[in-house]
Amino acid sequence: MTATSPRIAAFADRWPKLVALLLGAVSATGFAPLNLWPLTLLALAGWMALVAQSPKGWRAFGLGWAFGVGQFVAGLNWIATAFTYQAAMPAWLGWIAVVLLSLYLAIYPALAAWGAWTMRPIGGAHFAAPSYLLAFASLWALTEWLRSWIFTGFAWNPLGAIAVPHIAAPARWIGTYGMSAIVCLLAAVLMLAWFHRRIAATALFGSLFVLWGAAYLSQIGGGADSAVRSKGTQRIPITVVQPNVGQEDKWEGSKADANFAKLARLTTPKDDTPRLILWPEAAVPDYLEAGYPAPYYDRSPVEARLRLIKLMNRDDLMLLGALKLELDKTGDVVGARNAVMTVHADATLGPRYDKAHLVPYGEYLPMRPILSAIGLSRLAPGDIDFWPGPGARTLDLGAFGRAGLQICYEIIFSGQVVDRAHRPDFIFNPSNDAWFGGWGPPQHLAQARLRAIEEGLPVVRATPTGISAVIDADGRILESLPMHSAGRIDTTLPRAHAPTLFARYGNILPVGFALLLLVLAIAFRRRGR
């Protein structure tokens, strides 16, 4: 240990929660856009050592909670930016929302810390013992999985996201939450090395390296197999459009025509090759379906569709974000759907996908009678709440293959993005990241890349302000458009791999992996090693 170690230890002994809070904030630098993942590993290792020294379980819980608050406040700072686009609420309320959300989300790291603390060796043996470290990795993964579905779930920034793209290959077997456990185990390697447990550190690192190597070779093999299967098949041309329409302009009625002109200019065909045209979430304000009350139409559905097909070749197909209204028996509008519409070049509509995983306070207001009475409103404009769709769905696009759809926020939910009974050829993720600040879009992109690796499917993202991207089935970005710029991507759709292990079984695999680590932790503890 260095000469400064006693001073650091003394400060940590006096202000343990403050140290945990700071370590949590440092750990968030491993997420995009900073990608300082070595700092995340160091912060995790320091926090794990701090928790192990707690004299009581409730203090371990408190240290876990403080760490979580630091990580989530730093990592979710982009949420505060969303409030700057909502005139009905003051901008400063955004930071209060970030803190309040973080206070809740921090419960999950707190539970992991408390559970790992209870797994320390009997008799007060050294806190770098395998039982403690394995339990920590296991319980972090399990609590992260719980965070993804309790109270509709908030799965943003799983720890495994810092592994993208370099060491994320095992996600094809054990998913994102399994990768989060591996990140904890890598931090455990640092702890073991710090406390001169060189044999244990080498053994653990060697095991992780073998796992990664096997997954990487499997990934390469899967890519070769897919190339052989698709040899000679026609690649599907796609055009991804990013108009650079900011959130402050998106819902401004006077700017609707100018916004459409940006989309139109970037969509005009360069030749007569049939293309799949991909526009962002809520790309147009027009209602494309007939049957709604007349006051809702700025132009007729026929007129709205005709101006779309003017941008298309004879055999083109367009997927675009649009809104659908829900009517009651009397014909009154009672709800809306955030949808992706299919528009054929003859102006007919094809299959539609309705967003299933809605954003609380963004697309609907929970407890609306109470919260609206005190002046709160949705972050997205409008007084009508969105209704959820039935879930992941595959759309048959004929000559353009089968598309899995996930609108914006939905792509972050590992294991929930594909209809496994009808496996698509790719995932289309139209999004609106224009109100996500500087940190939100790259974090969103990193999580989309994890979905590609897990499912063995290419992912195509179209956003109004960036980051739009074409991601192959190994999670690599083949083409992209930077934030706050207008542009288009003309390319062909990457090939899908054969279904990965995760694609077949979903989150039963990371949960099983975490439980296996927990069983090993219990076994080590009973042996007192």
Instruction: Look at the chain and report how many structural domains it folds into.
Output: 3
Predicted pLDDT at 11: 63
> Domain end: 55, 89, 118, which one?
118
Question: Residue 432 sits in a domain of what CATH number?
Answer: 3.60.110.10
For residue 132, the SS3 value is helix
Q: What is the pLDDT of residues 32-81, one digit of tens each?
A: 999 999 999 999 999 999 999 888 999 999 999 999 999 999 999 998 88
**How is residue 243 written in tokens?**
């108009």
Both 202 and 286 in a single domain?
Answer: no
- Which residues, at least 6 apart from 36, have a Cβ–Cβ distance to it below 8 Å? 29, 30
Gap between the Cα atoms of 113 and 130, Å rounded: 15
Both 208 and 179 in a single domain?
Answer: yes
- What is the distance of C-alpha 98 from the center of its chain? 17
* Mean pLDDT confidence for 230-241: 78
For the chain, give the percent of residues with pLDDT over 90: 66
Q: Phi, psi at residue 474, to the nearest 5°?
A: -100, 5
Whether 369 shows a pLDDT value over 70: the answer reads no
What is the pLDDT confidence band of residue 224, given thresholds at 50, 70 and 90? Answer: low
Both 203 and 242 in a single domain?
Answer: no
> Are 163 and 447 a contacting pair, CB within 8 Å?
no
Both 222 and 318 in a single domain?
Answer: no
> Domain end: 95, 118, 141, which one?
118
What is the pLDDT confidence band of residue 229, given thresholds at 50, 70 and 90? Answer: low
How many CA atoms lie within 13 Å of 219's alpha carbon, on the beta-carbon side?
27
- Which residues, at least 6 apart from 254, have a Cβ–Cβ distance to it below 8 Å? none
Beta strand residue intervals within 306-374, DSSP E: 317-327, 333-344, 353-354
> Domain end: 65, 96, 118, which one?
118
Between β-strands 487-492 and 237-242, what pairing exists: parallel, antiparallel or unpaired? antiparallel
Gap between the Cα atoms of 312 and 315, Å rounded: 8
∠ CA 249-387-408 to the nearest 5 degrees? 50
Q: What is the pLDDT of residues 482-494, one digit of tens each?
A: 999 999 999 999 9
Both 189 and 265 in a single domain?
Answer: no
- Which residues, at least 6 apart from 475, have a Cβ–Cβ distance to it below 8 Å? 164, 165, 168, 449, 450, 452, 453
Report the predicted TM-score, pTM, of the whole model to 2 decimal places: 0.91
- Which residues, at least 6 apart from 415, have a Cβ–Cβ distance to it below 8 Å? 175, 454, 502, 506, 507
* Mean pLDDT confidence for 384-404: 92
Whether 182 shows a pLDDT value over 70: the answer reads yes
For 186-235, the DSSP string reads: HHHHHHHHHTT-HHHHHHHHHHHHHHHHHHHHHHHHHHHHHHHHTTTSPP
* Domain with 163 in it: 127-230+503-529
For residue 80, the SS3 value is helix
- Which residues, at least 6 apart from 8, have a Cβ–Cβ distance to it below 8 Å? none
What does each C-alpha distance from 33 to 101, 388, 446, 501 come to in angstroms? 21, 31, 9, 29
Predicted pLDDT at 232: 47
Both 214 and 164 in a single domain?
Answer: yes
What is the pLDDT confidence band of residue 261, given thresholds at 50, 70 and 90? Answer: very high
Gap between the Cα atoms of 359 and 364, Å rounded: 7
Both 97 and 212 in a single domain?
Answer: no
> Are 147 and 153 a contacting pair, CB within 8 Å?
yes
Both 355 and 488 in a single domain?
Answer: yes
Q: Which residues of 495-511 are buried (b: 16+ CB within 10 A; e: fewer)?
A: bbbebbbbbebbbebbb
Mean pLDDT taken over the chain: 88
What is the pLDDT confidence band of residue 82, given thresholds at 50, 70 and 90? Answer: confident
Where does residue 32 fall: left (phi above 0), alpha (psi -120 to 50 degrees), or beta otherwise? beta
What does each C-alpha distance from 94 to 79, 82, 100, 441 come to in angstroms? 7, 7, 10, 18
Amino acid at 497: H
**How is residue 509 written in tokens?**
């695999």
More reliable by pLDDT, 375 or 187: 187
Query: Counting runs of H as helices and runs of E as strands, what totals does the chain give?
Result: 17, 12
Both 261 and 312 in a single domain?
Answer: yes
Instruction: Kindly report the length of the chain.
Output: 529
Whether 227 shows a pLDDT value over 60: the answer reads no
Both 331 and 268 in a single domain?
Answer: yes
Both 42 and 145 in a single domain?
Answer: no
Both 166 and 236 in a single domain?
Answer: no
